[in-house]
Amino acid sequence: MFISAIPLDLAESPSGGAKIRSMAAPTDAELLQLAEQVGACLRAVGLSVVTVESCTGGWIAKALTDVAGSSNWFETGVVTYANATKQQLVGVSEHTLEEHGAVSAATVEAMACGALKLWPRATLAVAVSGVAGPDGGTEDKPVGMVWFGFADARRGATGHVDTELQQFHGDRRAVRASAVAYALHGLQARI
């Protein structure tokens, strides 16, 4: 079941890389509505979720736990903002961080897999790492670049992980809110 309260207008970037978001940042009310839809879907099929967040700083977990009854389908949320925390809390290897950086497909894949290993009752995991801005961007990893990892324990012991790259626009709040909405849509699509 997939119900969208927030339009997802995406277009391929000129370089063929990340998709560029062309929508306004979602409001808190829109994020709550989307989280309620995700929760209803999870509850209907008996699945549960864990979040591992960097640039969103726990906002995905907050959106999900704003929904009454979320304890029935939300296992936990972990904020792994610093690289050392990514290593200590969800087992991202030092090699992965050195080789690929925190904002990479390899890192969100490791974050999502690590979460499913640590919380085996969870069926789905979403991991997010990006550059929210206004500083910190580089030519290779500009402000607004966000990687997502969606792990599904139904597709293997440690979870099959889909990684997706998005390029969001706007100020720090807009980038983060858009990343939260994208993560919630991504979860809902996998239920």
Q: What is the mean pLDDT of the chain?
A: 90
pLDDT per residue as tens digits for the range 17-60: 455 444 689 999 999 999 999 999 999 999 999 999 999 999 99
Which token pair is 36? 């309620």
Domain contains 132: yes
* Residues spanned by the domain of 138: 35-143
Question: CA-CA distances (angstroms) from residue 40 to 25, 70, 118, 166, 182?
Answer: 23, 9, 25, 26, 17
**Number of domains observed in the structure of the chain:** 1
Question: Per-residue pLDDT averaged across 121-137, rounded?
Answer: 96
Domain contains 86: yes
pLDDT per residue as tens digits for the range 138-166: 999 999 999 999 999 999 766 689 999 99
pLDDT per residue as tens digits for the range 75-116: 999 999 999 999 999 999 999 999 999 999 999 999 999 999
pLDDT at position 16: 46
pLDDT at position 24: 86
Domain contains 43: yes
Cα dihedral 9→137→35→162 (10° resolution): 80
Reported confidence tier of residue 13, pLDDT bands at 50, 70, 90? very low
For 101, other C-beta atoms within 10 Å of its C-beta total 16
Domain contains 123: yes
Domain contains 88: yes
| Angle between helices 172-190 and 28-45 in degrees, nearest 10 | 20
CATH number at residue 120: 3.90.950.20
- Any idea what DSSP says for residue 25? P
pLDDT at position 158: 65
Nearest to 112 by CA among 147, 83, 140, 143: 147
Domain contains 50: yes
What amino acid occupies position 8? L
Does 134 have pLDDT greater than 90?
Answer: yes
Q: Quick one: CA dihedral 59, 185, 151, 92, positive or negative?
A: negative
Domain contains 39: yes
Reported confidence tier of residue 1, pLDDT bands at 50, 70, 90? very low
Domain contains 63: yes
